[in-house]
């Protein structure tokens, strides 16, 4: 016997999902083109990310959406469904970048030897972001970063030009990178040292 197809509103589908109806979940995903909508949002915002990682994020968003709907967390009186979906998507994208080294140019400065290596910036977007972050630094930290990596000066030359010991230059570079990492991940609580 073939089931009769009944048009249900999104609210009706969600009520059925809360009640445990797996067919309602499937209909929501298919009829509302959830997978395609999430894919558009993810691919549009994760520009320089591997396709397999983007696809993982899409799957995580759809899974989290279904979990949230089953738990009754969607409240249509608070926001439309599209905003709810975008919120979940935005959170998953944000978590992806927190888990992975979004700022590849900063993940390479975990030890002192990285300060000696040349800085590699892979995209215009990273250059723009780096400049915004550098603007947040105190002048003495921004200056050593700019001299070392943009002017490509050796640490010995920076020390001589600024009248500092090489150890002081290395310390400023290390601390500047710590600050940049903090700022990049949204933690502005790390105070500048005098």
pLDDT of amino acid 6: 57
pLDDT of amino acid 9: 81
Higher-scoring residue by pLDDT: 64, 7: 64
Asked if pLDDT for residue 194 goes beyond 50, the answer is no
- What mean pLDDT, rounded, does the chain reach? 78
Domain with CATH 1.10.1740.10 in the chain: 10-99
pLDDT of amino acid 148: 86
- Whole-model pTM: value is 0.51
Domain with CATH 1.10.10.10 in the chain: 104-184
pLDDT of amino acid 114: 47
The most distant pair of C-alpha atoms in the chain lies apart, rounded to whole Å, by 88
Task: Just give the CATH number of 10-99.
Answer: 1.10.1740.10
Q: For 99-123, what is the mean pLDDT?
A: 50
Asked if pLDDT for residue 87 goes beyond 80, the answer is yes
pLDDT of amino acid 168: 93
> Which phi-psi region, left, alpha or beta, contains residue 155 (left: φ > 0; alpha: ψ -120 to 50)?
alpha
Instruction: Name the CATH code of domain 104-184 (choices 1.10.10.10, 1.20.950.20, 1.10.1060.10, 3.40.50.720).
Output: 1.10.10.10
Distances (CA, A) of 37 to 33, 49, 83: 6, 18, 12
pLDDT of amino acid 1: 43
DSSP element (H, E) containing 14: helix 10-18
pLDDT of amino acid 81: 87
The pLDDT tens digits of the residues spanning 135-180 come to 888 899 889 988 887 788 899 999 999 999 999 999 999 888 888 7
């Amino acid at each position: 016997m073939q089931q009769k197809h009944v048009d249900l509103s999104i609210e009706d589908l969600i009520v059925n999902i809360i009640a445990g109806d797996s067919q309602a979940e499937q209909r929501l995903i298919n009829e509302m083109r959830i997978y395609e909508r999430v894919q558009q949002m993810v691919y549009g915002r994760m520009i320089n990310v591997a396709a397999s990682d983007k696809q993982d994020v899409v799957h995580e968003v759809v899974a989290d959406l279904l979990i949230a709907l089953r738990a009754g967390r969607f409240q249509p009186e608070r926001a439309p469904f599209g905003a709810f979906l975008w919120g979940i998507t935005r959170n998953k994208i944000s978590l992806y970048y927190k888990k992975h080294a979004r700022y590849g140019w900063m993940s390479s400065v975990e030890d002192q030897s990285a300060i000696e290596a040349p800085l590699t910036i892979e995209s215009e977007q990273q250059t723009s972001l780096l400049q915004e972050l550098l603007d947040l630094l105190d002048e003495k930290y921004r200056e050593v970063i700019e001299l070392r990596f943009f002017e490509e000066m050796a640490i010995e030359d920076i020390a001589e030009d600024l009248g500092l010991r090489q150890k002081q230059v290395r310390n400023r570079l290390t601390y500047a990178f710590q600050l940049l990492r903090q700022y990049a991940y949204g933690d502005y609580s790390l105070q500048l040292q005098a």
